[in-house]
Amino acid sequence: MAALRLLAIAGSGALAALVACDDLKNFGGPIPAYATVQLEVTGDPTLLPGDADLEVAMVWGGQWLVEALCILPPENMDATTLLAAGCRDPFGFVPARVDGNVAADVGVPTTLPLISLPSADLLIGDVTARIGYASLIVYDDRDHNGTLNLARPNRIPGNGMGMGSGSGNDPGTETRDVVYGASFVAMTQADQRVAYREGSFSPVAAFYPRAGCGEPPLGFSMLAAGGFTAQAAIDATIAGTLPKEDPASCAETALSATTIQVPLQMPSLESVKELGCTERTSDSSVRYLEPDPTEPTPDFTDRVTACVHLPSFGAPSDTVELVVSGRTEDKCVGISHYVLKGCRESADCGSPDWDHSTAPPDWWPCGP
């Protein structure tokens, strides 16, 4: 009797074995795409070197505010030169994270499947209404690692700070990849961008705004806008509104219905170079350096310097700071700030971490 039972169990197992014959995939197998971007690199292929490893990356944009020094009128000629050398275009697209990459050829349409959704830190807004924008950036993958490596400004390291070599998710100050253009370069130029929207949409949000255009559809979509002028942005900001786009230049379509054009441009253009540069802080805050008299003189070779008052939108400040640009060979522009008295996060802190105002270092060029 017991033997019969065992036989029945074994038979059941054998039967199950016959019907259960799917393949287990574990973590493998193809990942279904949420959407597919259709794109085409256009323009003059002679801009590229003969051995170019051309790729297109979809890069999500970050929320970033330029520091006040870069948008206020320069107070002297040195400052004018420094701002030209050290300030990023306040209307430019600022990359936050590279999503996908695909090999491309000039004039040949290709597709980029989107196999992941943007994470919450890339979406601006709350869980009921948030949105993210991405630019398609065409680049020469000089290090042949299959992805666009972003760089960040090469600021002067302060006491106890690293030399900016980059580690983990913190990009270094150098990258071998060379950017040749993008579908979304700056808000002051016509653009085509990939959008991802969850929930409702706030028309007054100033995150890469498209005032005057229609709302982005839910989920992934392609948006286009003609761009606005810098003066229009200034006027709108003073009026407490957003600069208007020309409605005739606007488009909001499904990704499957459009081929996004990615035009090649001169890689030496500052606006194009900046497409490969990310920023460490996004709130226009400044980190100050201590001009320590006990330390060796900082190396300002190939950097532009200027002495300026602390930037202020109200009454002028009495505090003078030394501002230093990056080097001409740096991938990304940036400004370093020295104050004789202050803290790392603020020059006006109540209890300064350092005060060399009575005995500045010998190399200090800005007076007491």
Partner 1 sequence: MRWFALVILLMPAFAAADPGRLLDDHSFDTEPGGEFAGDLGIVAAKPTSLPVGLSTGIGAGLTRRCGCMFSYGARIAWSRVTEDSESWIVTQDDFRFRVTGAILHEAGRGAIALRLGAGPTIVHEVRDLQQGMRDPNSDTPQQQHALRAVPAGELELVVSLKIAGTWLVDASAGPTLAIDSGAHGGWITQMGVAWRP
Question: Looking at 35, 112, 151, 186, which residue binds partner 1 (CB under 8 A)?
Answer: 35
Contacts of 22 (CB under 8 A, 6+ apart): none
Q: Is 10 in the site for partner 1 (CB under 8 A)?
A: yes
Interacting span for partner 1 (CB under 8 A) from 5-13, 70-78, 178-186, 279-287: 5-13
Among 9, 68, 234, 257, binds partner 1 (CB under 8 A): 9
Report the nearest approach of partner 1 to the CB of residue 17 (Å): 4
DSSP string, 25-83: -TT-SPPPPSEEEEEEEES-GGGS-TT--EEEEEEEEPP-B--GGGTSPPSSHHHHHHH
3 state DSSP class of 247: helix
Amino acid identity for residue 190 in this structure: A
| One-letter amino acid for residue 217 of the chain | P
Q: Residue 113 CB, nearest distance to partner 1 (Å)?
A: 11
Query: Measured between alpha carbons, how far is residue 157 from residues 74, 153, 287, 295 in Å?
Result: 25, 11, 11, 13
Could you say whether residue 129 binds partner 1 (CB under 8 A)?
no
Distance of CA 277 to CAs 302, 329, 342, Å?
20, 14, 29
Q: Which is nearer to partner 1, 14 or 315 (CB)?
A: 14
Query: Bridge-partner residues for 262, per DSSP?
Result: 41
Burial zone of 320 (CB within 10 Å; 0-12 exposed, 13-18 middle, 19+ buried): middle
Cβ at position 97, least distance to partner 1 in Å: 14
Q: Which of these ranges, 13-21, 171-179, 266-274, 357-365, lies near partner 1 under the rule CB under 8 A?
A: 13-21
Binding of partner 1 at residue 4 (CB under 8 A)? no
Contact map string, positions 96 to 115, toward partner 1, x by CB under 8 A: -------------------x
Interface mask toward partner 1 for 166-205; x: CB under 8 A: --------------------------------x-------
- DSSP letter, residue 92: B
Q: Which residues are at the interface with partner 1 (CB under 8 A)?
A: 2, 5-6, 9-10, 12-14, 16-27, 31-35, 115-117, 198, 217-220
